[in-house]
Amino acid sequence: MDLYEHQARELFEEHGILVPRAEVTDSPKEAREIARRLGGRAVVKAQVKTGGRGKAGGVKLAADPAAAELTARQILGMDIKGHPVRKVMLAQPVDIETEFYVSYVLDRAACRFLAIASAQGGMEIEEVAASRPEAVARVPVDPARGVTSAKATEIADAAALPPQAVDVLVRLWQVLVREDALLVEVNPLVRTRQGRLLALDGKVTLDDNARFRQARWGAADTDHHDPLEAVAAARGLNYVKLDGEVGIIGNGAGLVMSTLDVVAGRGARPANFLDIGGGASAQIMADGLSLILSDPAVKSVLVNVFGGITACDAVAEGIVRALDTVRLTKPLVVRLDGNNAAAGRAILDGRAHPLVQQATTMDVAARQAAQLAHTA
């Protein structure tokens, strides 16, 4: 679960990390009053769960309360990368001397966390990482040991951060651990001309598995979700919309990810990630197929299932029943392997749907699906 910037700064403040004074509103008139309370000048920032707000015009400096009201009126209602702006945060301007970047992120492959830091923070940190990778320090963090003062000093030295950053790095780790976060990021962490270190912007992603411990943040925000993702969530489907033309259904996240790669290797683009998990009942298959077929970008569909606890004949029965309830309008390629695969293929052969093809390997199935998408 991603937090809004104002929620992230609330966490930072609770853990002793300095942040500028700020208030949140959804009203342009109230923005004027907030700016007055902040001293007149204010930075008006769109509250959306995505990056690139500044380049999109979602972060602006207002010179006085009247300008703050006008700016808030301009930003509220904007669409930034598919995220509607419903609230703005007004923050007190800071006299910046230097900008830094610091973050902790879960490294799933290595079963540890990774500290990423740089003395070149700000809007262009991605470009710095791409063009000058040596300017971005990446320091592994053992989750069992955490970030002590000694570890924080190692991170600060590796990234050429000032000595004051050591305390910030320790406190930022406390945010990650105590708040069940998978990512905490400050960009930029700034040093003011008065020598103070402040978190000017923050990003925090909490572990959905710990949502019961983080109830104060409320239900998951769905304002920015793709409409198909919202439908999938309502049906309990593990679905992510992608920008391609081959719909993908598989059982198991690893198998689905492999399928995406193989389809891409065959010159086509996956249209989605859809993991139906260990079961493939008729209802699950019907929900999955209807969801994917409702995507106008999809030209063909690939079902890639490896039978285990749920045998392939049960999966095939689910597909057949789904075809009785869902009008198949695009070609469907099915690859069944594993437990009772032969029986499953026989069931599909018996159904003999004109738009259903079968393949015995993932590579052949991906090639067929890609070709069908290109000729559709």
Could you give the residue numbers annotated as active site?
Answer: 101, 185
Cα–Cα distances in Å, from 175 out to 10, 17, 205? 11, 10, 11
Could you tell me which residues come within 8 angstroms of residue 46 by beta carbon, excluding any fewer than 6 positions away? 53, 56, 58, 59, 75, 78, 80, 85, 88
How are the residues of the chain apportioned to helix, strand and coil, as percentages rounded to the nearest 5? Answer: 40, 25, 35
Which of 148, 174, 152, 150 minimizes the C-alpha distance to 161?
152
Which of 79, 82, 58 minimizes the C-alpha distance to 225?
82
- Residue 287's Cβ-side half-sphere holds a number of Cα atoms within 13 Å equal to 20
Q: How far apart are CA 247 and CA 244, in angstroms?
A: 8
Q: Is the dihedral of CA 73, 74, 77, 83 positive or negative?
A: negative
Cα–Cα distances in Å, from 52 out to 16, 41, 118, 171? 27, 23, 19, 26
How many distinct helices (H) and strands (E) make up the chain?
12, 18
Classify 194 as helix, strand or coil.
coil
**What are 100's two structure tokens?**
């830094």
Q: How far apart are CA 128 and CA 84, in angstroms?
A: 29
Q: How far apart are CA 217 and CA 211, in angstroms?
A: 9
Which of 52, 102, 96, 57 minimizes the C-alpha distance to 76?
57
- C-alpha 220, offset from chain centre: 13
Cα–Cα distances in Å, from 213 out to 6, 52, 178, 181, 301? 20, 30, 10, 11, 39
Q: Is 349 left (phi over 0), alpha (psi -120 to 50) or beta?
A: alpha
Query: Which helix (DSSP H) or strand (DSSP E) does residue 90 occupy?
Result: strand 88-91
